[in-house]
Amino acid sequence: MSPDALNSLFSLLIGFALAGALVSGYQAFVQRPAGFGLLQQEAMTRSFVAVPFLVFAAPFIIMRNTLRGRQIERRRVEFVMMATVLSGFWSLMSGTFVVMTLRAMGLFA
């Protein structure tokens, strides 16, 4: 495996791990699952704060909603595959941002 492919895989895994940790932490703290409905809250400051959270938590939320939709609503496999690719790409981008930030801070070689 080439170093670039390994770096991309690591970024993908970091992105999914971060998304899962954020959503699990939110659910433990608030006692309800996180979702995109956070953007529709009445207080403008809460909606504004929800945006950075959802940027990094979205891959987990997309996959959770997709897999639940497949089980409950019997969604088509093509839809699940498309959502998986979208979630993977999103995770890759957020993981790349985290890895670049850690490198800039000198915490990651």
C-alpha span between 35 and 79 (Å, rounded):
19
State which residues form the domain around 71.
3-105
**What is the pTM (predicted TM-score) of this model?**
0.86
pLDDT band of residue 98 (cuts 50, 70, 90) is: very high
pLDDT tens per residue across span 58-90: 999 999 999 888 878 888 889 989 999 999 999
- Tally of structural domains, the chain: 1
76 Cβ neighbours under 8 A, 6+ residues apart: none
pLDDT tens per residue across span 2-61: 989 999 999 999 999 999 999 999 999 999 889 888 888 777 777 788 899 999 999 999
Neighbours of 7 (CB within 10 A): 12
> 65 is written with which tokens?
């909603």
DSSP 17-63: HHHHHHHHHHHHHHSS---GGGGG-SSHHHHHHHHHHHHHHHHHHHH
